[in-house]
Chain A
Amino acid sequence: MKKTVAIITTLLLMAAFAASALAAEVAQGRCVSIDAQTLVLEEFDTVKTDANKHYGNPTGIETAFDVSAAKIGIPPEPGDILRIAYVIKGDAKQAIKVMNVSKQDLSKKK
């Protein structure tokens, strides 16, 4: 009994650690364009002012993300505010998850 538990726990731990790289960056901003491969985002900063209470202010920097392997929530359209978790692989910024901040009301059920 104890042995089985130990084996199962170890396997689970290994599965957990092997799953993926640990460090990811996060970017938030307005979606400029999107297709199956790439998503261009105008990045926002993290300063909250009265004019931009929720999302921060536009910085004017446009960044392209590779979204071919990303897990995407509500399908983004140009103009939506998105939050992207990504890893840098070589020159490309590879998105892991894309959250549609403006269309996903977290206070609603489901």
Chain B
Amino acid sequence: MKKMLLLLSAALGWTLLPVLAFAGGASELVVVADTRVLTGMAKYFANLYNTNIVLFALWATVLTALYGCFLGFLMDFIMSRSGLDLTSRKIVEH
């Protein structure tokens, strides 16, 4: 778990440098999310998308990582109930 956290933060920190360079260049595609028809969470994120893309990108990355972690550990829990041996393998082949 600790390893995972460390890795996560390392990955986050690492994204910084090239990204700042990227941020300057304008992309040819401009999309405005239609916040008029949204409510709640979706509205918040669509709004961020329109106004503060850096924070939006940060959220997107962090949430993806968190959800991935969550699903990974949840599935691990479920799989451990199946009675399969999930820590070793018999077939030894290169």
Contact = CB atoms under 8 A, between A and B. Distances in A.
Interface of B, secondary structure class, is helix
A85 B32 contact: yes
B34 A97 contact: no
Contact of B32 (A8, A23, A83): A83
Contact of A28 (B10, B29, B36): B36
B66 interface: no
Interface string A49-93: 000000000000000000000011110000000011101000000
9 contacts: A5-B12, A15-B20, A15-B54, A16-B52, A16-B58, A19-B55, A26-B34, A73-B29, A106-B31
A12 B30 contact: no
Contacts of B64: none
A85 B36 contact: no
For the complex of A and B, 5 pairs with smallest distance between CB atoms: A73-B30, A85-B50, A8-B13, A16-B55, A99-B32
Interface of A, secondary structure class, is mixed
Nearest to A106: B31
Interface string A1-40: 1101110110111011101111111101000000000000
Nearest to A26: B35
B37 interface: yes
A15 B54 CA distance: 8
A98 interface: yes
Contacts of A84: 32
